[in-house]
Homo-oligomer: A and B are copies of this chain.
């Protein structure tokens, strides 16, 4: 039997030294034009967990996993609680709805991620349903089959809590949405959508279905013209025209896709060139885009909408409707907000260091929170007084120059204001404020000059990019907590003394893609660059392949794309 061990040896070699294969794979992927970084470390575990601070991470989405991946300090006792035991690469969710990519190809088990850490990370598959900031306790519930014990509740204590639970879909309390619409936030959503698309085709293929009913069943309505809605509509059109038309020749002509957007444009966070291109591409594809259409109700077989301009009521009989109009706060977070005095807010607020306002030991990041950027006006007196070194009640050029760096650092809206050319220098500031050439200004003039600065503040979008950067930022803070405690490196404390421990979080926008179907993608790159077409599609392939969380998922997704390219998509209802 000795000879047989050869096979086993190769097999083990692959498992223990997977780098060989990874090197093979990187050549394929880097051909796409993007370098891929690889950082699986496998250092021995440390065991001195004495007196370590207990950190609980809630959630295993972009924010939570990015935090875990970037956490390097072994001076914490880390626990992760999430109802999903995997991380999902959500930007590819629309591709899962039609089988361009398989659901399993874009997920990675959390345990695979945390097991690579050089220190122990504990994972619990459960949902946190209550946070008690007073007792520093979270309440969790796991859901399993009855024979495995059914619902199990337990509590956990924490020293530091990282809330990264994401958000739910925002229905704006529109009647019927919860009951009848599909959402696209979770893996299960995408799988459900995929099965239901096939269902519509199968149903329409049955005998005794009237023409009118066939039209209704084959009418796919998408509510929300954001990137998700647009990409879903584009993917659905590709699926229908490239695969389903061949498989269901008798019903293909009944297909209709309608995209409803309440605003004036689809993809309104993108450049106007992209919006325009998307609109005309969709027109050529026969996707009916209705802007200025606000959905008022969804019943079992009909979407009711209102034309915002004309006030006219629309009625759209549908077979399937996708609701994709943004995010809302989860009930557990709402409850938590009430407890900490944020009950009147819409979203959980943190400061610029991602600490939940009103809680010293709770951090929140990703879609479940918003950074409440401190306004300049709130601190204007303190800023002026700190800048006015000679305390003469007037600010001169020299004094201003000395503090502008700190001000821009602490109040990025000032920086944006300056960058936009609205305020090039102190001279402009003074000139703007009083129209004279006087070289000194008093506090009232200073206030007046900066009065529009705070309007530059914008909430960050609820994207994977933001969440991932926040996770990495927070992990880095945790890594250097002790060091920066001793030697703070943040901006000057305007109202207190000394410096903040860390630099505040700053989002760096690397651009955004909007896949429009037919191997055409619009890309909005940093510096207002816009690229549309096949080349962007390849850039999209490259970037997404490189950003995927593990080599396994990279292998799978690239395999899926190849499979789709050669064989098309599968219409089996599983």
Which residue numbers of A lie inside 8 Å of B, CB to CB? Answer: 1, 4, 7-8, 11, 14-15, 18, 21, 84-86, 99, 102-104, 107-109, 111-112, 115, 123-126, 142, 144-149, 152, 154, 156, 180, 187-188, 191, 196, 198-200, 202-203, 205-209, 213, 217, 246-248, 300-301, 319, 519, 533-534, 551-552, 555-556, 559, 563, 565-568, 570-574
Closest 4 CB pairs of A and B: A86-B572, A552-B567, A125-B202, A111-B247
Q: List 17 A-B contacts (CB under 8 A).
A: A14-B566, A21-B566, A85-B571, A86-B572, A103-B574, A144-B203, A146-B300, A149-B217, A152-B203, A152-B206, A154-B208, A187-B574, A191-B574, A551-B567, A555-B566, A556-B563, A559-B559
Contact A147 B300 (CB under 8 A): yes
Name the one of B14, B217, B570 contacting A552, with C-beta atoms under 8 angstroms: B570
B residues within 8 A CB of A217?
148-149
| A240, chain B: closest CB distance, angstroms | 14
B residues within 8 A CB of A571?
85, 109, 111-112
Known: A11-B519, A152-B203. 11 other contacts (CB 8 A): A4-B534, A14-B566, A21-B566, A102-B104, A124-B206, A125-B206, A125-B573, A146-B300, A148-B200, A551-B567, A559-B563
B residues within 8 A CB of A148?
199-200, 203, 217, 319
Contact A247 B115 (CB under 8 A): yes
Name the one of B11, B107, B142 contacting A565, with C-beta atoms under 8 angstroms: B11
Contact A123 B205 (CB under 8 A): yes
B residues within 8 A CB of A126?
206
B residues within 8 A CB of A568?
15
Which of A145, A187, A574 has the largest count of B CB atoms less than 10 A from its CB?
A574
Q: Please name the residue on chain B nearest to A22 by beta carbon.
A: B566
| A206, chain B: closest CB distance, angstroms | 6
| A536, chain B: closest CB distance, angstroms | 11
B residues within 8 A CB of A570?
104, 107, 109, 552
B residues within 8 A CB of A563?
552, 555-556, 559
Contact B8 A124 (CB under 8 A): no
Q: A104-B572, A147-B300, A572-B86 are in contact. Are A18 and B111 (CB under 8 A)?
A: no
Name the one of B144, B180, B300 contacting A199, with C-beta atoms under 8 angstroms: B144
Which of A152, A196, A207, A572 has the largest count of B CB atoms less than 10 A from its CB?
A572
B residues within 8 A CB of A203?
142, 144, 148-149, 152
Q: Please name the residue on chain B nearest to A148 by beta carbon.
A: B203
Contact B102 A147 (CB under 8 A): no
Which of A180, A206, A551 has the largest count of B CB atoms less than 10 A from its CB?
A206
| A2, chain B: closest CB distance, angstroms | 12
| A301 to B570 Cα, complex, angstroms | 39
| A56, chain B: closest CB distance, angstroms | 12
Contact B519 A8 (CB under 8 A): yes
| A573 to B191 Cα, complex, angstroms | 13
| A49 to B75 Cα, complex, angstroms | 78
B residues within 8 A CB of A559?
559, 563
B residues within 8 A CB of A180?
147
B residues within 8 A CB of A109?
247, 570-572
Q: Please name the residue on chain B nearest to A112 by beta carbon.
A: B247
B residues within 8 A CB of A206?
124-126, 142, 152, 154
B residues within 8 A CB of A145?
196, 199
| A1 to B281 Cα, complex, angstroms | 13
Q: A146-B300, A147-B180 are in contact. Are A14 and B86 (CB under 8 A)?
A: no
B residues within 8 A CB of A533?
1, 4
Q: Please name the residue on chain B nearest to A156 by beta carbon.
A: B207
| A248, chain B: closest CB distance, angstroms | 7
Q: Please name the residue on chain B nearest to A202 by beta carbon.
A: B125
| A215, chain B: closest CB distance, angstroms | 13
Which of A102, A149, A533 has the largest count of B CB atoms less than 10 A from its CB?
A149
| A210, chain B: closest CB distance, angstroms | 10
| A315, chain B: closest CB distance, angstroms | 15
| A5, chain B: closest CB distance, angstroms | 9
| A441 to B18 Cα, complex, angstroms | 77
Contact A84 B154 (CB under 8 A): no
B residues within 8 A CB of A567?
18, 551-552, 555
B residues within 8 A CB of A146?
300
B residues within 8 A CB of A572?
85-86, 104, 107-109
| A567 to B549 Cα, complex, angstroms | 14
Name the one of B154, B247, B248 contacting A207, with C-beta atoms under 8 angstroms: B154
Q: Please name the residue on chain B nearest to A250 by beta carbon.
A: B122
Q: Please name the residue on chain B nearest to A302 by beta carbon.
A: B147
B residues within 8 A CB of A11?
519, 565
Q: Please name the residue on chain B nearest to A125 by beta carbon.
A: B202
| A79, chain B: closest CB distance, angstroms | 10
| A550, chain B: closest CB distance, angstroms | 8
Contact A188 B574 (CB under 8 A): yes
| A566, chain B: closest CB distance, angstroms | 5
Q: A7-B534, A574-B188 are in contact. Are A205 and B124 (CB under 8 A)?
A: yes
Q: Please name the residue on chain B nearest to A571 by beta carbon.
A: B109
| A563 to B552 Cα, complex, angstroms | 7
B residues within 8 A CB of A18?
566-567
Q: Please name the residue on chain B nearest to A1 by beta carbon.
A: B533
| A7 to B565 Cα, complex, angstroms | 11
